[in-house]
């Protein structure tokens, strides 16, 4: 989290009415969808897809999903409704023109994947997710392995020059050069987001970069979940509250 942007906010009030010409940026897990035991546990939802489609129409396309998931996974879960998406924390990004921009994967990712697979092999509940541009170690179903997972991930990141992105019961090792803040800023430099007011909604430490970026561009962040030290200004309790809020915005925007 950018240290100069963080501040303690307790409690966080609900988001205000949308400013004129808003642009919405939304995380996936914990925001558009509840956290599940495994990444594959999240699937399409008719209400979510309907609300997102309505928001896109009301906001003239100024809506994007910024997620640690791949673009393919975002499209699967959102049923292809959202054209503008950033996957793997911004390492791949699709703009309104449909063009996908990807960084080249770090050459050490294959070796790191093998090391994580070796770690998971004798630890039931530990899962490995290969995202091509990064690899994620999930231990939500094996919380007793949290310390060992953190130590392994930290060591591999230092050894190979990868970016370590801690999350909620996950450790992600990824190609350097991108984060959600940079992805949000890149969208804001393009149509239809240009000259809009950015609003980022997220729940995890990975979203702090985007909260800070939104604030720096005259917008704000909305933290989902328990209050904590954050660069966000407002808060919502959980993904259910997010969907209620978005549904209201879809009718009033």
Burial of 29 per CB tally in 10 Å (0-12, 13-18, 19+): buried
Beta-carbon-side half-sphere exposure of residue 91 (alpha carbons within 13 Å):
24
Among 34, 35, 63, residue whose Cα is nearest residue 200: 63
| Domain parsing of the chain, residue ranges | 17-103+178-252, 109-174
- Structure-token pair, residue 88: 């793997």
Please indicate whether residue 56 or residue 4 has the higher confidence score (pLDDT). Answer: 56
Instruction: Give the 3-state secondary structure of residue 7.
Output: strand
Q: What is the mean pLDDT of residues 114-135?
A: 95
CA separation (Å) from 65 to 11, 32, 247?
Answer: 26, 9, 16
The correct answer on CATH 3.40.50.1000 for the domain covering 17-103+178-252 is yes
pLDDT at 4 over 70: no
pLDDT at 6 over 60: no
pLDDT at 202 over 70: yes
CATH of domain 109-174: 3.30.70.1020
Condensed to tens digits (0 to 9), the pLDDT of residues 29-87 reads 999 999 988 888 999 999 999 999 999 999 999 999 999 999 999 999 999 999 999 99
Condensed to tens digits (0 to 9), the pLDDT of residues 20-43 reads 999 999 999 999 999 988 888 999
Q: What is the pLDDT of residue 229?
A: 93
* Four-point Cα dihedral 47, 50, 55, 61, nearest 10: 130
Q: How far apart are CA 84 and CA 214, in angstroms?
A: 17
Q: How far apart are CA 239 and CA 67, in angstroms?
A: 14
Helix (H) or strand (E) holding 50: helix 46-58
Task: Name the active-site residue from 4, 27, 114, 238.
Answer: 27
109-174 matches 17-103+178-252 in CATH topology? no
Contacts of 42 (CB under 8 A, 6+ apart): 28, 29, 33, 34, 36, 77
Q: How far apart are CA 137 and CA 51, in angstroms?
A: 32
Answer yes or no: 151 catalytic: no
Q: How far apart are CA 152 and CA 173, in angstroms?
A: 11
């Amino acid at each position: 989290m950018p240290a100069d942007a963080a501040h303690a906010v307790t409690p966080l009030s609900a988001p205000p009415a949308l400013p004129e010409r808003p642009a919405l940026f939304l995380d996936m897990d914990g925001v558009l969808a509840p956290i599940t035991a495994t990444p594959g546990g999240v699937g399409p939802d008719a209400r979510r897809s309907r609300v997102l489609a309505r928001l896109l129409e009301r906001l003239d396309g100024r809506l994007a999903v910024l997620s640690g998931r791949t673009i393919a996974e975002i499209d699967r879960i959102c049923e292809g409704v959202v054209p503008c998406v950033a996957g793997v924390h911004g390492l791949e990004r699709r703009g309104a023109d449909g063009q996908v921009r990807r960084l080249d994967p770090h050459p050490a990712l294959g070796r790191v994947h093998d090391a994580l697979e070796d770690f998971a092999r004798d630890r039931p509940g530990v899962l490995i997710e290969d995202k091509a541009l990064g690899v994620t170690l999930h231990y939500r179903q094996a919380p007793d392995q949290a310390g060992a997972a953190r130590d392994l991930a930290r060591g591999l990141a230092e050894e190979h020059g990868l970016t370590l992105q801690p999350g909620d019961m996950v450790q992600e090792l990824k190609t350097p050069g991108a984060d959600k803040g940079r992805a949000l800023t890149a969208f804001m430099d393009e149509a239809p987001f240009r000259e809009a007011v950015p609003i980022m909604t997220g729940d995890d430490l990975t979203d702090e970069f985007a909260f800070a970026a939104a604030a720096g561009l005259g917008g704000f962040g909305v933290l989902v979940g328990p209050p904590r030290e954050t660069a966000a200004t407002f808060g919502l309790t959980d993904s259910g509250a997010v969907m209620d809020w978005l549904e209201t915005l879809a009718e009033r925007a």
